Amino acid sequence: MTKLGSLKSEKRLLDRQAADRIRQHILQGILPASTRLLETQLSEELEVSRGTVRSALAVLAREGLVSQVAFTRWQVAETSAVDAWELYTLRAALEALAARLAASNMTANDGKRLRETGAELATAVRENRFADVTDIDFRLHQKIVELARHGRLAEQHDYILQQVRFHMVHSGFLPRDYSALVDEHTALIDAVINRDLDLAERLARIHNEAEVKLLSAFVEQKNKSAVQ
């Protein structure tokens, strides 16, 4: 397993830094789902106290990336089709509201920013840079949420999106049709920019409903393969 790297010389709050470093390894798939996390090992690798590691793991537990088993040990969270369904249905509700609010708040400059991100997505697909597609996809949805200008919605969306990314990485999720992905996002961008509130809300919800079925299938297949 790749070591996390020392935090001994860092000046920021160590528990936050430790959480950032562990989170990064989880979301990159370096620490697989269900991996046991030993406080002593993490403490040695990060060169911080076990108390600092414990605080960091508690933060990640609140984010849904880590779980504490019987109050005695820590592990990377598990994945399941039920979890995927819950995350995506909640994401659909948040992003549908965000799309509606963003459409009602839309300015010319906001529209330009959305178009630029949509163009980035289309270019990445056209050039077969599929490793970049997910990052741009997430960034596009985050921009729409940002344009909703709703602080608490944005905060909850960040938590949900983080867990969605976790499930995607640990299930090996990939879109089945990248061209359709571009078309769906283009339609959503158009609806938001054109201030069509009802259509923007509906397209955001439909997009997530389609993805949850696909992600659930990937998660189920991954978990079946792990059992066999």
For the chain, the average pLDDT equals 89
Q: Which pLDDT score, from 0 to 100, does residue 84 have?
A: 84
Reported as half-sphere exposure (CB side, CA atoms, 13 A), residue 190 has a value of: 8
For helices 197-227 and 178-193, what crossing angle results, to 10°?
Answer: 150
Q: Which pLDDT score, from 0 to 100, does residue 197 have?
A: 97
DSSP labels, 80-95:
-HHHHHHHHHHHHHHH
Q: List pLDDT tens digits, range 91-130.
A: 999 999 999 999 999 999 999 999 999 999 999 999 999 8
Q: Which pLDDT score, from 0 to 100, does residue 11 have?
A: 47
Residue that the structure tokens 């840079």 belong to: 129
Q: Which pLDDT score, from 0 to 100, does residue 99 have?
A: 98
Please give the structure tokens belonging to residue 157.
Answer: 């969306």
Q: Which pLDDT score, from 0 to 100, does residue 221 have?
A: 74
More confident residue, 219 or 201: 201
Q: List pLDDT tens digits, range 33-82.
A: 999 999 999 999 999 999 999 999 999 999 999 999 877 789 999 988 88
C-alpha 40/C-alpha 58 separation (Å) is 15
Q: List pLDDT tens digits, range 68-77.
A: 987 778 999 9
Reported as half-sphere exposure (CB side, CA atoms, 13 A), residue 17 has a value of: 18
C-alpha 32/C-alpha 75 separation (Å) is 10
Q: Which pLDDT score, from 0 to 100, does residue 208 have?
A: 84
Q: CA 19, 82, 34: angle at the middle one, nearest 5?
A: 40
Q: List pLDDT tens digits, range 200-209.
A: 999 999 988 8
Please give the structure tokens belonging to residue 131.
Answer: 């490793």
| Domains of the chain in sequence order | 14-76 (1.10.10.10), 81-227 (1.20.120.530)
For residues 46 and 5, the answer to whether their CB atoms sit within 8 Å is yes
Reported as half-sphere exposure (CB side, CA atoms, 13 A), residue 60 has a value of: 29
